[in-house]
Amino acid sequence: MRLHPAEDGRSHAVWLASSEYEALLDAASTRRKRLIVRLGGEAGLRAAEMTRVRSADLRPASSGSGAFLVVHEGKDEEREAYLSPPLERELGRYVETNGLDEESPIIDVSTRRVQMLVSEVASEAAERTGVTDFEKISAHDLRRHFARTMLEEREVDPRVVKAIGGWRSFDALEPYLERPTDAEIVAAVDPSARTLSHAALDEVLLDASTRSDLEQGVCDVLVNDFGSDFAWIDGSEFGTRPEPPRAVAGIDTEALSPIRSRIPGGLEDPVSIDVPSIEGGPTVAAAPVVYGETRYGVLALARTNDGFGPDERDRLALLGRRIGHAMTAIRRRKLLLADTILELEFHSSDPNAFFIAASDRCDCRFDLESIVSVSDSALLFYLTLTDGAPADVFALTDEFPEIEDWRLVEQRDGGALVEFVVTGASPMLVLTDYGTTITEATFDRGDARLVADCAYDTDLRTLVDGVTGAFPATELVGKQTTDRPARTVQGFRQGAEGRLTDRQRAALRAAYFGGYFDWPRGSTAEEVADAMGVSSPTLHNHLRKGQRELLQVLFDD
């Protein structure tokens, strides 16, 4: 956490790192406090603007996802802020839970009360973390965090930030932008330099077919194209295992040993460390290589002449996340193409996992129906709940911040289909982050059974350590190799056609060739129905049932 003079020069400004902002969110003890923090930190709203937010001011984004929020800045002044899909869901859930109508203020308190609530959250974060600087955070610091994140970390066009954040001029955004480094200036004004460095790195991240090729390629590019003296990638943590580095460039492995010992273990955020005892006194910057909850290792590079500023460490952290994303993609691609796969079975009774705890405390059972990837850090779960009431399960979600959203999809005989959006700690999220495909999952009165497929040459020790490290009361109880059955287009077609009635098949063909499924549509449903000589409701009935049968072949069989 860094303190800087504010724009008025008379007070401090707190610039939060991403991990510190997450810690602040975790300290929000009520849904209203959490929503206030997110509206400031992720939508850039001022404290006074939060008190004027209504459901009637929301409109869906015309393209993509999320929503725009009409923000009443003052008398006859408005702007449209952007709400990400998770923030839009949390806002909607808060409205629904509190029974608010479209015209009611969602944050129905005074501006001063909003500021006090932010101060309360900041004090709670300071108490929980032991970091007293949290107590200095104000409501306006959340807006500063929004600007800083948009401009520096996500590199959003300043015109967009100015528009959605309501800044009057580009001069007002200047305090949130760091002075460009020499390397950035050269890359910006010299196309050949910019193309060489970025193209080389992107080529490695996109084209590497194995993890070892990816790691070595990144190290080579950092030395050859980014001016690092040397670079390397270690295992999950420095100093915890005797194995040599996974990849090295620019230095002999033996000469690297004393430098590696200076890097702390358990690295969560990027750091830079001077190593004066080594000849030449290099400065080393290191950042974790992660994807979601999965930790692959640590990326480090050294520079003799210059140190590493905060912006460079932030960019190194971003590179660590990009490498982690690429590693996960390689794992999933190998699993997709593999003829022989490894089937793993885990058992867990860890009470820190929501579905395990809920099945125990509500004396019920969950059976996984499907998992949908919402983003790099969120999964959408559909589960069948039996022997329990959905309301009792939903009531427990306040105790588990990783549960972003939930809803009852439908009641069924003897149970219910429920939906959960999970964004934090979950054994299933950890497994999918490591590139596995979960094929079965049951949570029965405090005990879980998870079955997942992974590529045959997966590093099992790293995978198992990742799962058990996050959830200690978990163990791998079985593994076996299986041959994946061959799937052909002809087989899919035969399976699909065997499920369709003549009328469903005719309706789907007429709608398909008539352009009903195109965008924009070549025919309306009424036009297709007229061509077939049936009513519009009849056509919709055939289409809906036919699509259901096709999707069942795709997703179930």
What pLDDT is attached to residue 376? 56
Q: What pLDDT was estimated at residue 537?
A: 85
Most confident listed range (62-66, 127-131, 147-151, 445-449): 445-449
Higher-confidence position of 130 and 184: 130
The structure tokens listed for 151 are: 């401009």
490-532 pLDDT tens trace: 666 666 666 788 888 888 888 887 778 877 677 788 878 877 7
Residue 468 reports pLDDT greater than 80:
yes
Q: What does 121-183 look like in DSSP terms, one character per residue?
A: HHHHHHHHH--GGGGG--HHHHHHHHHHIIIIIS---HHHHHHHHT-SSSGGGGGGSPPPPHH
Indicate if the pLDDT at residue 553 is higher than 70.
yes
pLDDT score of 37? 94
Please compute the mean of the pLDDT values over residues 36-62 and round it to a whole number: 90
The pLDDT of 30-35, averaged and rounded, is: 91
Which residue type, as a one-letter code, is found at position 542? H
Name the nearest CA neighbour of 122 among 106, 145, 152. Answer: 145
Residue 123 has pLDDT above 80, yes or no: yes
Mean pLDDT to the nearest integer, 406-414: 84
- Three-state DSSP at 233 gives strand
Min mean pLDDT across 16-20, 127-131, 351-355 is at 16-20
- For residue 298, the 8-state DSSP code is E
Cα separation, 207 vs 364, whole angstroms = 46
pLDDT of residue 124: 92
Report pLDDT for 240: 42
Between CA 400 and CA 446 the distance in angstroms is: 16
* pLDDT given at position 33: 93
* Type of residue at 85: P
- Tokens at residue 382, please? 């559909």
- List the beta bridge partners of residue 386: 365, 415
Output the pLDDT for position 194: 41
Q: Give percent helix, percent strand, percent coil of the chain, each to the nearest 5.
A: 45, 25, 30
Highest mean pLDDT among 58-67, 418-427, 471-480, 521-530: 471-480
Residue 393 has pLDDT above 90, yes or no: yes
What pLDDT, on a 0 to 100 scale, did the predictor assign at position 82? 92
Residue with tokens 């978990």: 474
Question: 320, 313, 295: which is closest to 219 by C-alpha?
Answer: 320
Task: Tell the residue number behind the tokens 């040459």, with chain if given.
Answer: 457
What does the pLDDT read at residue 196?
Answer: 38
Least confident of 8-12, 14-18, 449-453: 8-12
The model's pTM is 0.45
Does residue 303 have a pLDDT over 60?
Answer: yes
Confidence of residue 7 (pLDDT cuts 50, 70, 90): very low
- Please give the torsion angle defined by the CA atoms of residues 426, 38, 164 and 14, in that order, rounded to the nearest 10 degrees: -110
Report pLDDT digits (tens) over 283-299: 888 888 887 667 788 88
Q: 109-113, 288-292, 297-301, 351-355: which range is least confident on average?
A: 288-292
**For the ranges 30-34, 217-221, 456-460, 470-474, which has the lowest average pLDDT?**
456-460
Res. 3: pLDDT tops 60: no
- Say which residue, 433 or 240, is predicted with more confidence: 433
Print burial letters for 348-368: b (CB count within 10 Å at least 16), e (below 16): bebebbbbbbbbbbbebbbeb
Q: What is the mean pLDDT of the chain?
A: 81
pLDDT score for 20: 85
Structure confidence by residue, pLDDT tens digits, 166-215: 888 888 888 777 776 665 565 556 544 443 346 677 788 877 888 888 99
The string of DSSP letters for 16-78 reads --HHHHHHHHHT--SHHHHHHHHHHHHH---HHHHTT-BGGGEEE-SSSSSEEEEEEEETTEE
Which residues face 381 on adjacent strands? 371, 420
Q: How far is CA 199 from CA 194, 314, 316, in A?
A: 8, 20, 17
434-442 mean pLDDT: 86
Confidence of residue 67 (pLDDT cuts 50, 70, 90): confident
Question: What's the pLDDT at 192?
Answer: 43
Average pLDDT of the segment spanning 443-467: 86
- The predicted pLDDT at position 296 comes to 81
pLDDT band at 487 (very low <50, low <70, confident <90, very high): low
